[in-house]
Chain A
Amino acid sequence: MEIEIPAGFRTGGGRGPGRPFGPHLTIGERLHSETLKDPDAGLVRRAGSGDAAACATLVDRHLRPLLETATRMLGNRAEAEDVVQEVFLRVWQRAGRWRAGQAMFSTWLYRVTLNLCHDRLRQRRPLADAAEMEALQDRQMTGEQRSQRADVAATLAAALNTLPERQREAIVLCYYQELGNIEAAQVLDVSVEALESLLSRARRRLREILRPHAAALIGELS
């Protein structure tokens, strides 16, 4: 059995008509050209045959961005570490079955990471929603009494965690991880247009959430 790849990941995938990319390339054609140049393909193949150096290179290349992604998705470092360990465990188990050309390996890594984050968020959803809103309100009331720098970081983390999951994923991938719009759209299995919509809504909502904290944020910056 091969590693299962969602439909939108496949070469030439993507939904909707899409905006043309440059004078010649459609979204599908661009995806195809990108998937042919996977910088991890050789490493994954070697890792699949037990090459320790290849495993170490893959970890050094991807651990930090995946950990950052999981931490920002979950708002919890310990859980994020569990998630990335699980992601790499799957890599070690399945590297031998990886077939280059169907999807970028990094795209698959992000997708698995987000899926594992989804599972954890689903398990704790009702409790977390209430706790996050409470934490945000608490910071609003006592913001001046707290250490300003720590409070700003916690406020931003809480604000991010109040976003709907898809919007949070879009912000984490595009803003924090600086993925290109095409790869981020592939990870989320949406069109580039849908990704832009998610990003715009996320940023609008973040601006609204953070507005009451503007004074503290400006204070921290100055």
Chain B
Amino acid sequence: MTNPGMTLVRLTEICAAYGHDSRRWPAQERAAAEALANTTKGQEITKQAAALDADLDRYSVSSVDARLRKSILAAASATPRAVPGFLAVWLSALRNEIFGWRPAAYALTLALILGLVAGLLDEGVEPVEIMHLAGFQQIVEDY
């Protein structure tokens, strides 16, 4: 069976890209290309590609060893799972609801600093106490 869309030029392109083995050829063109490849001119084209294929087939890679498989599966049981997408969205919304306190925390910190500065102006505070305060602010920001 021949396909009017399949030509020697296209068969040459196919062999140049995918090699001589028709199993690697584009599925949609395979039948038509195989039919053309069985002609005398078609065989000349595939023969040229076959030489390089024979060379490439010399490059084999050793098989998987059991140690690697075991290691990967051990990682599977040790890895914490990500929550499914819908759950992640729900948790994110919930977190925003509950932990919408962040702006309030900053406001509280600012109020504390202002209060402390006002106190310092009045009474004079030891430097170590100021350091504690700065540390507290850092903890709030980090959190």
Residues of A within 8 A of B (CB): 1-2, 21-22, 47-50, 52, 55-56, 59-60, 63-64, 67-68, 71-72, 77, 81, 84-85, 88-89, 92-97, 99, 152-153, 156-157, 160, 171, 174-176, 178, 180-181, 192, 195-197, 199-200, 203-204, 206-207, 210, 217, 220-221
Contact = CB atoms under 8 A, between A and B. Distances in A.
Given A67-B64, A77-B61, A196-B13, 14 more contacts: A48-B81, A56-B73, A72-B61, A84-B72, A85-B72, A92-B76, A175-B19, A175-B53, A175-B56, A181-B18, A199-B17, A203-B16, A217-B55, A221-B54
A49 B60 contact: no
Secondary structure at the A interface, as helix, strand, loop or mixed, is helix
B68 A153 contact: no
Given A49-B81, A85-B72, A178-B23, A157 B56 contact: no
Interface of B: 13, 16-19, 23-24, 26-28, 49, 52-56, 58-64, 68-69, 71-73, 75-77, 79-85, 88
B68 A97 contact: no
A174 B71 CA distance: 29
A59 B28 contact: no
A72 B59 contact: yes
The 5 A-B residue pairs with the shortest CB-CB distance, nearest first, are A199-B17, A156-B59, A92-B79, A55-B76, A196-B17
B43 to A, nearest CB: 19
A59 B72 contact: yes
B83 A63 contact: no
Contacts of A221: 54, 58
A197 B18 CA distance: 10
A85 B13 CA distance: 37
